Amino acid sequence: MSEAADLTDAVEPAVIDDARQLAVDAELVVVKAGTNSLTDDRSRLDDEKVNKLVEDVMDLRQAGKQVLLVSSGAVGAGKGLIGLTDETVEESQALSTVGQSQLMRRYTEGFERFDQTVAQILLTGHDLENPDRFTNFTNTVETLLEWDIVPIINENDAVATEELRIGDNDMLSSSVAIGIDADLLVTLTDVGGVYTGNPKRDPSAERIEAVGSNYTTVQEVVTESSRDAFGGIQTKVAGARSASEHGIPAIIAESTEDDVLAKITAKEAVGTLFVPINGDDDD
């Protein structure tokens, strides 16, 4: 039996099935898209990738679900437009302001094809930690959702120096999902989930289907295979785990997979599923 199968077998099939059903039944979904899911190899916004993401989100909307989109890509889009390849933190902050306007313009145009209105919300960690600010944020989100508007959330990189350095929109999306009591968190990235090795360098690496009681072992595998920080998989795993600890199923999947979000609503096995856990479910 393969390592991936051994790891997945540590999670009971009934638990996996129940988690997939929760994903199907989810009414409020947080979708996080990484920079590589939005830009080309020259760090420019890729119309085809942006349009695909929009179409995938609209699959959820047309299935009657409310969606919050947490989007990276502002700094990357700014770099592609200005032409910088190596920048200081201060320059990255300025680039984010250039890229964010381009990103929202593309999103607005993309969603307009479906007569779907979107809204922009920029956050820092302080907004989530401060009770008054967080209340204002949740009130705004609730109102937008009542109006059938898709909120598009990104870090406010222009002022969030510390967050910019660690680039943790993965944790931001998890914190948002937990804070608004979402029913599902989906992290879209440029790999097909969590693997037993780095799939970009190791052709024998296998996708791990589910994470739950096997988390400690999976975390060790990820730490070993991602020392070169491919795709930021460690923060994606940490974010998904955090959501699952709060009873929210989480999925890490490949943004380029056909109908990736529609497949989740059809209860298909997509990416790596983090099942909701209880305190006694750890290794």
Which residues make up each annotated binding site for ATP?
32, 189-190
Q: Which residues are annotated as a binding site for substrate?
A: 72, 157, 169
Return all residues near 279 (Cβ < 8 A) that are at least 6 apart.
Answer: none
What are the residues whose beta carbons fall under 8 Å from the beta carbon of 41, sequence distance 6 or more? none
To 10 degrees, the CA torsion angle through 117, 31, 183, 165? -120
Mark the binding-site residues, compressed into ranges.
32, 72, 157, 169, 189-190
Which residue in 58, 55, 91, 95 sits closest to 73, CA to CA?
A: 95
Q: Whole-angstrom Cα distance, residue 261 to residue 31?
A: 9
Residues recorded for the chain: 283
Structure tokens, 45: 């916004």
Nearest to 192 by CA among 62, 40, 3, 4: 4
